[in-house]
Structure 1
Amino acid sequence: MIKVLVADNHPVVREGLNAALGGSDDFNVTASVGTTSELFDALEKEKPDVVLLEMDIPEVNGITALRKMKKDYNDVKVLIFSAQAEDVYALSTLRAGASGYVAKTATIDTLKNAISKVAEGGMFITNELAQRLAFDESTNKPRRFFRKLSTREVEVLKLLASGKRNKHVAEELGLNEKTVSTYKARLMRKLNVDNMVDMLQQAKALELY
């Protein structure tokens, strides 16, 4: 069962999420809070698998709260649940440490799928957003960083994005672990990122998994 902490400043939204998620055998809403101070108080007491965080939660803005969470509670996965436009905020929240972004217009099934994927260590953004991130709208062609990748680099990125560890990537591609680490460093450089979260977000944007 996935333990979820809901952080949203709207009581009706919190009650709706509690009812929707609490009625399932797959989820357990361990706490429901309306401010960032309540959020961090709850994190001290609870051990949630996933925090469902509203971008506009009071006291501290969502991205600042997200960064603090990732610093102080790094094991907790954070899924942004927001009425703000994906195009504007999704990338910035993913770069700040979120594992996914779900619009409040999404269906309950989409939200449940997102929570499950994030809890398992994956990332979640919609296919529509992935396509917009992956393609240059002015030319309708893949962004330049994708064309920089070799076939082998794409293979390594795809396997890492699917959740495989260096050892398993090496076994599947007939490489040694040191070579996989070299590929990972090269991918980060080519994709202009400095951490795995951003690299996997790029893989998602390229629809590699």
Structure 2
Amino acid sequence: MIKVLVADSHPIVQKGLESFFKASTEIDIVGSASTTTELFDFLSSNTPDLILLEMDIPEVNGITALRKLKKDFPDVRVLMFSAQAEDVYAVSTLRAGAHGYISKTAELSLLQEAIVKVAGGNMFITNELAQRLAFDESTNKPRKYFRRLSTREVEVLKLLSAGKRNKQVAEELGLNEKTVSTYKARLMRKLNVDNMVDMLQQARALELF
């Protein structure tokens, strides 16, 4: 049986997945965590095979939590589980060490397939995403800019779009304020805007945050 920890802040998601996989002969939901504190508390005394990690889990963002997981628990497989834009965050989380990415809008059968595939030592992204990443670079769609961003740049943009100031972003990511300012300048250059208002409006218009 694949032992899975569900790290998601929504009780209905936790209970729904527990109920769905209760009769499974392949997957066993061994615990749930609603925050990153609960996540790491669980891991201090338990070793699941796979963590289903919500991108927006409270306390620190999912990419920051993923970095810590990869450092402290390198043998645990991580499948990101998110309502955020797939072709933006999938790339960033895979770069940060995730073994797969699946949308919360996916069918449960696809989620089951993803868990089995990732637990078996493979990577998982949807066929649709793979095709977009492979063939959509020549289009003029604004979203293509976001695939040029580094994982850290995506983290900074996400926190800025949540209304956090440079000092708060720096504290959460373990950076200094000058470094955050440097990231902001890079973001504006890469996204082809010349001010913070346009940068954040573009991110929100594309439903990234």
- TM-score, length of structure 1 as denominator length: 0.65
Q: Is the 8 A contact 1:8 1:33 kept in 2?
A: yes
Deviation at 1:45, TM superposition (A): 1.4
Distance 1:139 1:92 in 2: 20
Q: 1:77 is matched with which residue?
A: 77
- Distance of 2:115 and 2:138 partners within structure 1: 33
Whichever residue aligns with residue 19 of structure 1, its letter is S
Aligned partner of 1:28 in structure 2 is 28
Q: How does 1:124-143 map to 2 (within 5 A)?
A: 124-138=124-138
Match of 2:4 in 1: 4
1:170 alignment partner in structure 2: none
CA distance in 1, matches of 2:6, 2:139: 40
Counterpart-to-counterpart distance in 1, 2:102 and 2:135: 20
Distance 1:42 1:139 in 2: 44
**What is the Cα-based RMSD across aligned positions, in Å?**
1.3
Alpha-carbon separation, structure 2, partners of 1:139 and 1:5: 39
1:130–1:37 CA distance, 2 compared to 1 (3 A):
same
Q: Report how far residue 139 of structure 1 moved.
A: 6.3
What is the SS of the residue equivalent to 1:79?
Answer: strand
TM-score (norm 2): 0.65
Contact 1:81 1:101 in 2 (8 A): yes
Query: Structure 1 stretches of 5 or more lacking a match?
Result: 141-209
Instruction: Give runs of aligned pairs for residues 1-209 of structure 1, distance below 5 A.
Output: 1-138=1-138
CA offset digits 1:11-32 (Å, max 9, x no partner): 0011001111222111111111
Corresponding residue SS for 2:57: coil
Partners in 2 of 1:131 and 1:85 — Cα distance?
15
Letter in 2 for 1:72: D
Identity percentage over the alignment?
68
* Structure 1 residue 82, shift from structure 2 partner: 0.6
Q: Deviations over 1:132-174 (max 9, x none)?
A: 111244269xxxxxxxxxxxxxxxxxxxxxxxxxxxxxxxxxx
Amino acid across the alignment from 2:90: A
Given residue 94 of structure 2, which amino acid in structure 1 is its aligned partner?
L
SS of the residue 1:6 aligns to: strand
SS of aligned partner of 1:45: coil
Kindly provide the CA deviation profile for residues 93-143 of structure 1, in whole angstroms up to 9, marking residues without a partner as x: 000010000000111110000000000100000001001111244269xxx
Aligned to 1:143: none
Tell me, what secondary structure is at the counterpart of 2:138? Answer: coil
- Alpha-carbon contact 1:30-1:46 (below 8 Å) kept: no
Instruction: Provide structure 2 residue ranges, at least 5 long, that are not aligned to the other structure.
Output: 141-209
Distance 1:55 1:139 in 2: 27
Structure 1 SS opposite 2:32: strand
